[in-house]
Amino acid sequence: MKRIQFNYLLVGAVALLLALALWPAIPWHSNQNDPLDRILSRGELRISTLNSPLTYYTTQSGAGGLDYELAQRFAKYLGVKLVVTPRRSIDELFDDLDDQRADLIAAGLIYNTERLARFRAGPAYYSVSQQLVYRQGSVRPRNIDALKGRLAVASGSAYVSTLKQLKEGKHPDLAWESSSDLSTGELLQQVAEGKLPYSIGDSVTIGLQQRIHPQLAVAFDITEEEPVTWYFPRGSNDSLYAAMLDFFSQMVEDGSLARLEEKYLGHVGSFDYVDTRTFLAAIDSTLPALKPLFEKYARQIDWKLLAVIAYQESHWDPTATSPTGVRGLMMLTRATAAGLGVGDRLDAEQSIQGGALYLERLMAKVPETVPPDERIWFALAAYNMGYGHMLDARNLTKAQQGNPDSWVDVKQRLPMLSQRRYYAQTAYGYARGQEAYNYVENIRRYQASLVGYLEEREKKAAQQAALEAEYAVAYPAVTPAEALQP
């Protein structure tokens, strides 16, 4: 999967210059035709968005998503409360702008020139390419003219505009359906399940979907990389746009935007079809017996994260043994196990209890300057290669003018710990830094697969239960006595 690394310095410089140029001429409190003034007077920033693992979602521990966190920070920047309205379709999002039910759309939408006649686009915050997908195992189309079967895309999406341009250009016979009932994610799922031959999605969304639907395969890129932006109503007043420019400029300058992108997009990289299928099969066959133990001993992290750490270590094999002598589900060394009170490393419960305790101790040692939601990645790097080597990576990051408290900066230095010109300058010397890098990245990918797979399974179970309940009401059971009555 292809994704451009965001050029934060260039975008930040452009945003700052534009903001400085616009800011002096903009009255923040002018009149009710000023969109920013309305937001400030109301004390609320109202956004419309789409439910997805990338843009906006809710869990028992609260809301999350890249667009949600960005919007939350923008509201704080403005000094107002954030109000979120999730919608089912892109058309509904733009209806909210037309009817003044939302101040802006924050939903990971691709920049689309057709929308600019009625709406404005905010600054770009990452880039994607549009890709055509098909089901793994079926014939891969090499180009647009090789499509044989239905092609469906979400109504109101940028994909419709792209297909129109292709049809008006070199592909006059191109045909497709615009679905108003199914979202892009749902259409991609239909392709993975063999219910729809083709659809189009963006490279990041497809990469996330492949973690739970490995049958989803990319045939080819339809476009080059394109920016993803927010949208808001078009008007003569530039106050809201100027505020966005200044906000994003600050986010780039202090590294917040890079850290958010790392949090939500950092694990969307290379995709291994066989490995993902093997992992999903293990969720069904092996995880149920171990789940109670992960839930019991995962005190400081979610049990699903502890479970995928164990999978990365041993593939959930309690008898796993490495050539270096580490053993068990959590692959503990003899010395580490003794220090944790683990008498039998091959006992699943003892191993999970010891591994969880060891991870807790490492997290407690991570410097307090590291943000809470990033401490686990530093601790996992230490779990894999040793705490001292993790400190070396932090010191190397600082020496190279990076932020030693930012995982996105530190992880880039991990592979350097195996290069003499760098490890010669460190306190603890040579380390298999590339392995530690891969270790953490694999865990993050497995976590995305496990969380998404379990959520989808729960959703299907709820839908099935609802259908059965509806059927029971429509066709109530008849007792044998009632059946015998004339």
Alpha helices in 400-432 (DSSP H): 407-410, 420-423
Are the C-beta atoms of residues 305 and 447 closer than 8 Å to each other?
A: yes
Whole-angstrom CA distances from 291 to 279, 288, 349 are 15, 5, 11
Measure the CA–CA gap between 44 and 58, rounded to whole angstroms: 20
Write the CB contacts of 129 (distance below 8 Å, at least 6 apart in sequence): 2, 3, 202, 203, 221, 222, 223, 224, 225, 226
What is the distance in angstroms between the CA of the first residue and the CA of the last residue of the chain?
A: 67
What does the alpha-carbon distance between residue 9 and residue 6 come to, in Å, rounded to a whole number? 9
Rounded CA gap, 222 and 201, in Å? Answer: 10
Within 13 Å of residue 379, how many CA atoms lie on the same side as its CB? 26
Measured CA angle at 454 (ends 214, 181), to 5 deg:
70
Closest by Cα among 274, 270, 269, 159 to 215: 274
Q: Which of 226, 261, 262, 313 is catalytic?
A: 313
Nearest to 449 by CA among 317, 289, 278: 278
Assess whether 313 carries a catalytic annotation. yes
Q: What is the arrangement of strands in the sheet containing 216-221, beginning at the earlier edge strand?
A: 177-179, 151-154, 198-202, 130-135, 216-221
- Residues labelled as active-site residues: 313
